Structure 1
Amino acid sequence: MIRPGRVFLSIFFVLPAVAPARTWAQASSAPPIVIKDITVEGNRRVQDAVILGRVQTPIGAPFNPDRLSEDLRAIYGLGFFDDVQMRVEDFEGGIKVTFVVVERPFIRDVQFVGNKKLDTSALLEKAELKLGSVYNPVEVEKAAQRLKEQYEEEGYFEVKITPGIQKFADGDVRVTFGIDEGRRITIDQIVITGNQGLTAKQIKGVMETQERQYFILRGTVQRQKLEDDVERILALYNNHGYLQARVESHDITVDRKKARVTIALKIVEGPQFKVKSLDITGNRVLPLEDIRRQVLLKPGDVFSRQKLHETVDGITRLYGSAGHASADVAPLVSQNLEDRTVAIRLEITEGPEVYVERINISGNVRSQEKILRREIPFAEGDLFTSSKLDRAKQRLTNLGFFETVRASTSPGSDKSKILVNIDVVEKPTGMFSVGGGYSSADSFVGTVDLSQRNFLGRGWEVAARFRGGAAGTQGTLSFTEPWLFDRPLSAGFDVFDSRRIFSDYNFESAGGDVRFSHPFLDYARWYLNYRLTDDRISNLQGEALVSLGDEQGTRVTSAISPSVSRDTRDNVFTPARGNFSSLGMDFAGIGGDSKFVKFTGATSEFLPIWFNHILALHLEAAHIFGYEGKTVPLFERFYLGGPNSIRSFKFRALSPIDANGVKTGGTTQVLGNLEYLIPLPFNLRLAAFTDIGNVYGFSTKVDLTNLRYGIGGGLRWISPFGPIRIDYGINPDPRQGEKSGAFQFSVGSPF
């Protein structure tokens, strides 16, 4: 049995033995008794050096019982020992002091018996008992209490936890926790009283604690969550002008017979306050009109603490964008109980302009530092603005090289200087795979994919891809240098060869392209591509031989393609907010056989709604025409249907049809997509969508009242290499020969 009090008994019994010597030494002229040696006995695991390191009395010092008693207490304070005693004996003309210790047992194992609802690994983490640590019954009791709290967090209020130990032959112990979990107690109802200004539905709407709803919410009681809910309720009232509101009680009544609880919340609302005045002082750098545009409250409004916080944040960001990163906005709110109003004063301390003293970059193991620095739109010595720091984080995230990007600041050497800290966590950017799969466009395919988005850590993107199946084959080699000659000029090329088998004909294409792009303004970029391809249509079948006979044979297409885009998305791979818009054209006729002009325009908007839900809207239109008596080549015409257009139709299923029933492709297309995304655990997203559009061509006129549409849902997995999507689109109005829906499987964003 462990007896912490033994240390004091040891001191008591030692002192009488040494007291006569001490008295004799004081009463005579003989030299003092000297400590010749200090040793340790009884320790098995704890090293002598650790124990003697707590002893302040040195060898050669005069014998001092009081000082040695302090040393004894210090040794016991290590926490490794059940008992500590001190023995004093004659030794070489002086005395020898020996500290005799009895080590506490060590924890060799921790075992849980009876747990079925909670995993052993989770309980072990919660217990916080480390294997190999010293056994301490007080710590074991604390561990049992933590385990009980964990069970209560999950709604098991009847749980009983009994700690115990099992001794091994060498004295070590196994700590055991016997667990009787009992039943999970669920919430029968939440009763709210005292509320008049806000409804019970509004109050429950901000609470994480919820009543049981079968198959939706399990409605379990978690004490900490309930405490947090009290704060959420007060914040709700503060945002509706009730500055003196309080939750007077939040009682839990347990019906153990039914395993149900009732939570009773008693609220005292107090008066509702409105804004009487809002004054701004201290501004010299920025005009008052610019500051007031950030103010979300005006006289006569019901006071809202959240709107006040957002106002302060907006003004602070405004100053940060103007180079005053140290600006401080202090909101002062004075309540007037007589007329139930508040007077708000925003006191601004602008501070000096702040300059970047140093940019610290960490976490880049494979990536060269320069590929991070070139994405940061400021340098050391530049005026610091918070908007540029946000832009730096956005640009680094959009590289696709990093799992996380953290951009923060810390004070510099004086008030006018600031340190910028960029910390990244790299993620895999290379992929090698050999396998097979299913694509909505190609059916079953075999694939070989070798790609690296950050080759040699220099930001180069290289790829070699091959895919083949019943519908054809495709091979591609590509290379991109995003910063040619260390300038923000992206340059790259692609070489490709593909063969596709359609129902009416076969199509073969071989060639390559060279591409350049360069940013301009803050979020815009221009592109210039040149492509040269050798295209061949063969094996026309049935009626297609009549309708498309002129398309059979080989054509050389030489085309230049200028375009511009503007991209404000927060993340190009999985956007949650922002816009991407583009305008482009293809001009074919710089040599070669094809003569056509193609115009395209598209815009995508991403809006965060609530609870991290996202609403995405995409609009697209395109038109193509031939010139100098040439028709538009079949392989350049428009078709809709597939994973990136109208998902209720299979790949290229929508097309103008001639009198022979042959799909001839279109010269004009319009497309719209609306998608609602709900985040799920494990990097999953649930999607609901509506697609609408049509293709118009040689035999059909553009008619926006004649649009095809589809509705459906799907699942997205945000993998390290991009979103993987599975969708099912429903065709609500199938026409002759059409199916009622289609599955779509693809990799990448739909738009």
Structure 2
Amino acid sequence: MTRTPARRLLALALATAIAPAWAQQVDPQAAFAVPQPAAAPQIVPGAGSFTVSDIRVDGLQRIGAGTVFTYLPIERGDTINQTRIGEAVRALYRTGFFEDIQVGRQGDILVVTVRERPAINKLTLTGNKDIKTEDLTKGLADIGLSEGETFDRLALDRVTQELTRQYNNRGKYNVQINPTVSPLDRNRVDVTIDVKEGKAAKIRHINLIGNETFEQEDLIDSWESGESNWLSWYRRDDQYSKEKLSGDLEKLHNYYLDRGYVDFSIDSTQVSISPDKRDMYLSAGMTEGEVYKISSVEVTGDTVLPKEDVERLVLVREGQVFSRALLEVTSDAITATLGNIGYAFAQVNPIPEVNREDRTVGIKLQVVPGPRVNVRRIVFRGNTRTSDEVMRREMRQFEGAWYSQAAVDRSKVRLQRLGYFESGSVNVETQPVPGSNDEVDVVFSVTETTSGSFVFGLGYSQLAGLTTSVQLSQNNFLGSGNRVSVEAQRNVYLQRYSFSFMNPYFTDEGMSLGYNLWWREFDNSEFNTAQYSSTNAAMQVILGLPITESDTVSAMFGIDRNQIFAWRGSSPESIVDYIDAIGSRTFHAWRSEFAWARDSRNDYLQPTRGTLQRVSLETTLPGSTVEYYKLNYEFSKYWPINRALILNTRFEIGYGDSYGDDTYRMFCRSLGGQPLPPPGSAAPDPADVPGSDGCADGTVYDKTLVATGLPFFENFYAGGARSVRGFRDNTLGPRESAYNSSYLQPIGGSLKTVGSLEMFFPQLIKSPAARVSAFVDFGNVFRNVDAFESSELRASAGIALMWRAPVGPISISYAYPLRSQDALHDSNGALIRQGDELERLQFTFGGAF
């Protein structure tokens, strides 16, 4: 059941408060009495029938005499009597400006003496928590009860009654609304509305009487009202509301109708409250009746399409148990099908013919297509920053074309996936064009969200520690839809300066064009990986092209420079050997990436259905210092189980390797470890080298180094909040030690397999900025394909909270490892195998000031 916002309800209920007092009619059944005017009209003696020679108004302070003459239905030269004077007084009262009006005469001069209503100097609201002050202030201003306006006690009394009703709807029956009016000089008043909300009454017990077939727990499972429990402090389902109860009883009625109980009825409802107004008790009596089956199904009316095509959409069949839900789904399917070919106002009217003797129902589905309509205009509302052009290019429904429900729905999804608007805030309304029965306007209403910021940030995570950053980021730059970001970031392991730009509609066909530039210094020893550091600089150009509604191909071309700093004795031996085999610490690369992605998710920020797939091939081009490639596949699918559960299945696999000839480099002992022959030479057969031992000076080879496979600085890593939670970031997979060291350092691998099963609970925290989930993560990193073993996969389970807080994104998870590896020692206590590094509680926090 949808709740109307308090402000809208308040404004609607109080709208009549501005009506003049004399026109109000008192409903004897109303909860409060309507106040009468402050004083009745007074006519001084001697003001009988006479001809008015002049008119004088006394007592005016803020209101000009011209205003009075405008509303006064008497002019000079008029002959007046008691009736005309009464009409004049009533006309002046209707203005709402005056508390008291007296009419008299001085000779032939008509004298009107007034006492103005005071002006509101200050309006103060105190004690209100459930209803926001800004909502109340806006509602009060809509009826003229605001600072600077004329004070009307009638409106104040009605506000008091309406606020009491609003709090009663929230279950607070002890609420006290105390308005205070303090007179000031110069005919002004201060108005204070003090709210004592009190405690909400809680539903202690719900009792259904007459349910013989189904258990009460099943019947009330989907109710918004519920007995007080340990989650009620947040969900507030134990607070009584008349509107909620009406909706819940309707759900109860639907529950039985969906299961064939055509004669089901709710015979009585009773709501009782304890003497202290703290406990509520709900009871409902019902009659279930008998189960009915469907005796026949017939499609009638103007089906437009061939009748057999429409009949294929019918889900109800003869002999089935009657179900109103299936009838509604059938009606919606036929309506949507006709809507896709221009019949925007098509209707399907199910006409049941009930035979109570046989306990059967015959169904006639009457199709009323209505006129076929064109879309005259597409209108956007609420986009204060985003230009119409950015939204219009996402449209799949076009102006001047036949109306299509499928195209309108697809346009709505594309707008929601932009990420510029609040989750679930894109609404569509079809409005008939006045004076035309074959044209409509389609109106898209949105609520924009923050799509960019200028940030000076402080963040903290267990991995990175304290992070400082300055970032100018805008996903919707100047409302153009372009993405621009300039960033400077620094923490214990990283310095990064970057610039990126992306135009998603570089051409009208939807080709995107973007640029990336960055420079960074990276200390891996602080990143839970092998101990080495690097300095990177890169420039990239990215192109994207949509090939279907949900499929996109992209290409990236760039050049980068990567300088590695590793030291024998502190860095793993394989890393130092790799650098020595290459013969250079600086790696230059001409880089390219080609990718295909399919995205059918229904929302950018918090999807509830749809699939995301992406396949990418990244490779360095011939002529680069190292020639290699990386393949990556990502899959994520959201399965809506019901309104309270959404399952996300996620999987990622990555693999990389070198291509072309391996690089060899040999060292001779007599030359003190100096290389011979030059880098890049194939490993020779010692028999082919002058001298009996393979070295030119007669000594033997000390070491042969080979640079092969995926470079160590491109290895995949796993573990942490973004892969397998419950394990320290980047610590899963192969480990190596430095020379003369027993400590094993994570070095990553060329094969990565990670996945997750995650259940989201959108009803647990009813906020578009937060969500709670329970998850099972699994995965690991392996040195290569041959090293893969399913028994080496790690797994964990836990709960997570993700919140887009005003101070920045917050992610908190607690995971319990289901499969991990413990350290292994020999009989002397020496370490044989290092165990996994566990970290059950993991969090990241970012803020902006």
Q: Does 1:101 align with 2:120?
A: no
Query: 644, 666, 689: which is aligned to 2:749?
Result: 666
Q: Counterpart amino acid of 1:18? A: G
Give the SS at the match of 1:286. coil
Q: Counterpart amino acid of 1:66? A: T
Query: 526, 531, 538: which is aligned to 2:565?
Result: 538
Change in Cα spacing, 1:152 to 1:619, as seen in structure 2 (3 Å) is: same
8 Å contact from structure 2 (residues 800, 812) kept in 1 = yes
Whole-Å separation in 2 of the counterparts to 1:153 and 1:640: 51
Whole-Å separation in 2 of the counterparts to 1:154 and 1:456: 42
User: Residue by residue, what CA displacement relative to the aligned partner does 1:703-735 show, whole Å, maximum 9, x if unpaired?
Assistant: 234311122222212358995423333323342
Whole-Å separation in 1 of the counterparts to 2:316 and 2:387: 48
Q: Does 1:7 align with 2:85?
A: no
User: Residue by residue, what CA displacement relative to the aligned partner does 1:321-351 show, whole Å, maximum 9, x if unpaired?
Assistant: 2333232222222322222322222222234
8 Å contact from structure 2 (residues 571, 737) kept in 1 = no
Partner of 2:548: 521
Whole-Å separation in 2 of the counterparts to 1:626 and 1:603: 25
Q: Does 1:735 align with 2:822?
A: yes
Query: 77, 82, 90: which is aligned to 2:94?
Result: 77
Q: Counterpart amino acid of 1:266? A: G
Change in Cα spacing, 1:449 to 1:575, as seen in structure 2 (3 Å) is: same
Q: Does 1:86 align with 2:103?
A: yes
Q: Counterpart amino acid of 2:822? A: R
Q: Alpha-carbon deviation of 1:545?
A: 4.6
- Structure 1 gap ranges (5+): 22-32
Query: 361, 380, 384: which is aligned to 2:403?
Result: 384
Q: Alpha-carbon deviation of 1:447?
A: 1.7
8 Å contact from structure 2 (residues 731, 837) kept in 1 = no
8 Å contact from structure 2 (residues 506, 512) kept in 1 = yes
Considering Cα pairs closer than 8 Å and 6+ residues apart, tell me whether 1 or 2 has the greater RCO: 2
Query: 333, 355, 371: which is aligned to 1:336?
Result: 355
Query: 482, 505, 513: which is aligned to 2:504?
Result: 482
Whole-Å separation in 1 of the counterparts to 2:193 and 2:371: 60
Partner of 2:675: none
Change in Cα spacing, 1:399 to 1:208, as seen in structure 2 (3 Å) is: closer
TM-score (norm 2): 0.77
Query: 450, 458, 473: which is aligned to 2:480?
Result: 458
Partner of 2:802: 716
Partner of 1:27: none
Partner of 1:687: 773
Partner of 1:642: 720
Whole-Å separation in 2 of the counterparts to 1:386 and 1:123: 36
Which deviates further from its counterpart, 118-127 or 586-595? Answer: 118-127
Paired residues for 1:385-424 under 5 Å = 385-403=404-422, 404-412=425-433, 414-424=436-446
Partner of 1:311: 330
- Structure 2 gap ranges (5+): 1-34, 526-530, 580-584, 663-708, 739-743, 824-834
Change in Cα spacing, 1:455 to 1:279, as seen in structure 2 (3 Å) is: same
Q: Counterpart amino acid of 1:672? A: G
8 Å contact from structure 2 (residues 469, 490) kept in 1 = yes
8 Å contact from structure 2 (residues 313, 330) kept in 1 = yes
8 Å contact from structure 1 (residues 112, 120) kept in 2 = no
Q: Counterpart amino acid of 2:761? A: I
Whole-Å separation in 1 of the counterparts to 2:570 and 2:369: 77
Q: Alpha-carbon deviation of 1:467?
A: 1.9
8 Å contact from structure 1 (residues 613, 678) kept in 2 = yes
Query: 617, 629, 649: which is aligned to 1:585?
Result: 617
Q: Identity over aligned residues, as a percent?
A: 29
Change in Cα spacing, 1:156 to 1:652, as seen in structure 2 (3 Å) is: closer
Q: Alpha-carbon deviation of 1:583?
A: 1.7
Give the SS at the match of 1:548. helix
Change in Cα spacing, 1:626 to 1:225, as seen in structure 2 (3 Å) is: same
Change in Cα spacing, 1:482 to 1:169, as seen in structure 2 (3 Å) is: closer
Give the SS at the match of 2:394. coil
User: Residue by residue, what CA displacement relative to the aligned partner does 1:51-76 show, whole Å, maximum 9, x if unpaired?
Assistant: 33333344334445534432222222
Partner of 2:694: none
Whole-Å separation in 2 of the counterparts to 1:540 and 1:197: 76
User: Residue by residue, what CA displacement relative to the aligned partner does 1:89-145 show, whole Å, maximum 9, x if unpaired?
Assistant: 43xxxx4333333344555566789x6987894996688854555555555544443
Change in Cα spacing, 1:116 to 1:475, as seen in structure 2 (3 Å) is: closer
Which deviates further from its counterpart, 565-574 or 292-301? Answer: 292-301
Q: Alpha-carbon deviation of 1:280?
A: 1.7
Q: Does 1:52 align with 2:73?
A: no
Partner of 2:606: 574
Change in Cα spacing, 1:551 to 1:685, as seen in structure 2 (3 Å) is: same
Whole-Å separation in 2 of the counterparts to 1:80 and 1:414: 45
Give the SS at the match of 2:249. helix
Change in Cα spacing, 1:191 to 1:365, as seen in structure 2 (3 Å) is: closer
Q: Alpha-carbon deviation of 1:465?
A: 1.8
Partner of 2:651: 619
Whole-Å separation in 1 of the counterparts to 2:778 and 2:153: 69
Q: Counterpart amino acid of 1:529? A: M
Change in Cα spacing, 1:742 to 1:508, as seen in structure 2 (3 Å) is: farther
Give the SS at the match of 2:416. helix
Whole-Å separation in 1 of the counterparts to 2:190 and 2:784: 83
8 Å contact from structure 1 (residues 656, 700) kept in 2 = no
Partner of 2:268: 249
Whole-Å separation in 2 of the counterparts to 1:588 and 1:501: 24
Q: Counterpart amino acid of 2:588? A: V
TM-score (norm 1): 0.86
Q: Alpha-carbon deviation of 1:686?
A: 1.8
Whole-Å separation in 2 of the counterparts to 1:5 and 1:147: 24
Q: Does 1:358 align with 2:377?
A: yes
Change in Cα spacing, 1:647 to 1:335, as seen in structure 2 (3 Å) is: same
Partner of 2:27: none
